[in-house]
Structure 1
């Protein structure tokens, strides 16, 4: 079992998905890089920290979530040199870069949501500039069938991303809490506006929990789930390892049953992995995108053992050309031409098409990951005495063995109906 990538994050952190509004994504392989002017350091005993840091002309920095590590300001260009020097000190458990991360009913557009119910159907995007051809019957997650058992029962899913639109009739009311970690040098500021000016987080949130049967827009896979809006990506869709770690810790401490991260980085981080492991130990199911590099290279946090890593498929149940893959990836889910919510105001990903109508297509493993997160939430709400381990087992063991299972991903394409324990067609 293991894991990950957001239809868009860079080695430090970014949202994956290679979101495009009119055409499938061809997101470039994210490049590893570290953020200038800061590093992450963990001491065996924090009492030794001030003295050790003073030896290098440094000062103590804020803690990073529940990880025990601290974010330390350093002279730009001296990051790797100071990491090497600090790592030689026996009082230091580890020192590492702060990596850059970047950014997969009766409702009006439900007929375009093949991922929830594939009839099969053809459809166009909002601007009618792209026609998606008919796919394969039942190449979907069987969400409609799962709804006969549960629609989520207010199970809480944390969307660790670029924020969620504050004003949107289909998704804003589902948000029950928020925090903003875009300024990673400080602890979260609950009063800071987490508005999504990039667009990625709103699309991801709609895939999870857009309201169903309200005559407008789309339906989420878990339409009665609630959302924790955890902003860790800035208005350009990028962030940092430390911000993600802070966001994971906050989400786990504020009741998230499921944590979705449609983002990733190429370089593993002990701080990030500690945040993941702590959240798992607190009982959360953690899901992340596998990335859009189209290779077998691991992406983090997806590749960590306590994360469900998600590859992307299309409406024919075939692996998306852009999707990362390999034995480290756990499951697959639809991630090509996925219809969902976008901010109903100008936003970065939609600027090329003018003012947004609030809905459109996007492609990437960023879109596939929330399909799995929502499926996990449905499984949480349908099984008495569920645990994160049992929910993960339900999601993975009930996945359908499509072409590529065992090579592109360990298990199959997720099936929400089977995950909730229903008799499925």
Structure 2
């Protein structure tokens, strides 16, 4: 079975492109613990205030009916204080306040290294492709971000080939559809848009399929590519205006076209209305600019693999490519009816891997949506800044892309 690689073309608007629990954490590291506080339980409650005062601490609040106290501690002193208090005969125990991490019961979540990379290897749906083990934590920390927000109430416009109405993991997340292509309906018969939309907002924890990076988000499905995966700059411009008019906070465009003044005007108007725009950088394995990604008011996204290395096919160039995200063997939704990409590649229906900056772009778009949800009063300028500034500075940063590989957890903090 061949892997799906969403190819780029500049002649017209075209596409680029057992249940697992959540994060495995290391209890010995502060990264898995709530900063600035510990839990202490005393054998003798009467001694609590004195013991804590001896250690320069104030008596903390009670934790339900457990009898334990939540105690604030100075930065950098957590481990020392836990060890010291544990030796005190008046103390029953002292322990860190561990982070509780969200879980998901989605069938293919173990294959979604982009969201949570434990160094796992996995196969595709048809078990004809084996993806070699990657590097642990070469992911966007989506699961950790869900402890802060899942993006409820944020609308993301996916301007693409439509979203399949027969995939129950993503169809219910679509709140509005429109067709700006030459196709007769808004149905996704190409397959690309359904895959992209699933990366953004597939329903999480429903025991089937996959989880989106922003599982609380909803989707505006703007069909700008026809059933052959081809569209026009005018259709894309119309789609951008439609998305803005219907409340999109983020617009994802996993597509590419040559520069167009009309398209740039639509992009700039959307930006002036407070929308964050994200687009694929392309799959040319070179530094050639592709639009709309290369417009200044759009976040251009390159692709990485499960080792945090630049994907061999990814377009690059820190002068205009802003950020990177996983784009190799990314698991997501597909239509449950015959579709062009599936027919061409002998693909199983419903779910499978995709390859391309088309897959990277929606990860960044979904991260921006999560950031919108966690930063009340933010502007598109501040959301873009936080997404870019909190990216992990992996190898290639400053050369292949201006910022690092996107990190959803840092973006929502």
The answer to whether the aligner puts 1:276 opposite 2:273 as a matched pair is no
Partner-residue secondary structure (3-state), 2:288: coil
Instruction: Spell out, residue by residue over 1:365-421, the C-alpha distance to the aligned partner (whole angstroms, 9 max, x if none).
Output: 000000000000000000010111111011000000000000100000000000001
Cross-structure match for 1:16: 16
Q: 1:198 aligns with which of 181, 190, 203?
A: 190
TM-superposed deviation, 1:11? 3.0
Q: How does 1:11-410 map to 2 (within 5 A)?
A: 11-17=11-17, 105-183=104-182, 193-265=185-257, 267-326=258-317, 327-352=319-344, 354=346, 356-410=348-402
4+ long deviations beyond 6 Å: none
Q: CA RMSD in A?
A: 1.3
Deviation at 1:178, TM superposition (A): 1.1
Higher relative contact order (CA 8 A, sep 6+): 1
Give the conservation status (yes or no) of the 8 Å contact 1:7–1:363.
Answer: no
Measured in 1, the distance between the counterparts of 2:276 and 2:259 equals 20
| Cα shift at 1:8 | 3.7
**Structure 2 SS opposite 1:391:** helix
Instruction: Specify the structure having the higher radius of gyration (Cα).
Output: 2
Contact 1:141–1:415 under 8 Å retained in 2? yes
How many residues in Structure 1 have an aligned counterpart in Structure 2? 321
Q: Distance in 2 between matches of 1:354 and 1:183?
A: 26
Equivalent residue, structure 2, for 1:55: none
8 Å Cα contact 1:333-1:372 kept in structure 2: yes
TM-score (norm: length of structure 1) = 0.74
Distance 1:177 1:283 in 2: 20
Q: What is the rounded CA distance, in whole Å, between the counterparts of 2:167 and 2:131 in structure 1?
A: 26
Partner of 2:35: none
SS of residue matched to 1:145:
helix
Residue 101 of structure 2 is matched in structure 1 by: none
CA distance in 2, matches of 1:360, 1:125: 6
| Contact 2:166–2:337 (CA under 8 A) maintained in structure 1 | no
Is the partner of 2:207 in helix, strand or coil? Answer: coil
Work out the CA distance in 1 between the residues paired with 2:262 and 2:328.
32
Shift of 1:268: 1.1
SS at the partner of 1:367? helix
User: Equivalent residue of 2:148, what SS?
Assistant: coil
Structure 1 residues 102-134: Cα deviation after superposition (integer angstroms, max 9, x where no partner)? xxx110000000000000100000111110000
Contact kept, 8 Å, 1:10 with 1:238, in 2: the verdict is no
Contact 2:8 2:284 in 1 (8 A): no
